[in-house]
Amino acid sequence: GDVQAVHSLRRGVAEALEIVARGDRKSSRVVGRKVSEIHLPAEVHMGLIVRGLPEEGAEPQPAAQPQVIIPRSHTVIESNDHVVFFLPHKRLVREVEKQFRVSATFF
């Protein structure tokens, strides 16, 4: 059962894409939302989330251990999560990036 699924997924993967979630619930379509609420093309698979990596330009904390999270439908994306996607076509990259774009928040 399961091995076949992994095999066919791997064969269908053309691209692995890593995107860092930025912003907050107001400015982002993904931060603070469950995986099941994120609008992704059907063929795109969210492979894993790496949480707790130092932010760019920040001092790495010696005690900080990044966690690797296997996304479930109820997993909530947090700011600075590194999300890895598997895509069958390069043209889907833009679709995924669009979801992660941070919009300007107007006050």
Model confidence at 28, pLDDT cuts 50, 70, 90, reads very high
The pLDDT tens digits for 38-57 are: 999 999 999 999 999 988 77
Question: How far lies 103's CA from each of 25, 52, 74, 95, in Å?
Answer: 11, 23, 24, 15
As a whole number of angstroms, the distance between CA 28 and CA 26 comes to 6
Q: What percent of the chain has pLDDT over 90?
A: 65
52 φ/ψ angles, rounded to the nearest 5 degrees: 95, 15
Q: Which domains does the chain have, with CATH numbers?
A: 2-100 (3.30.70.1450)
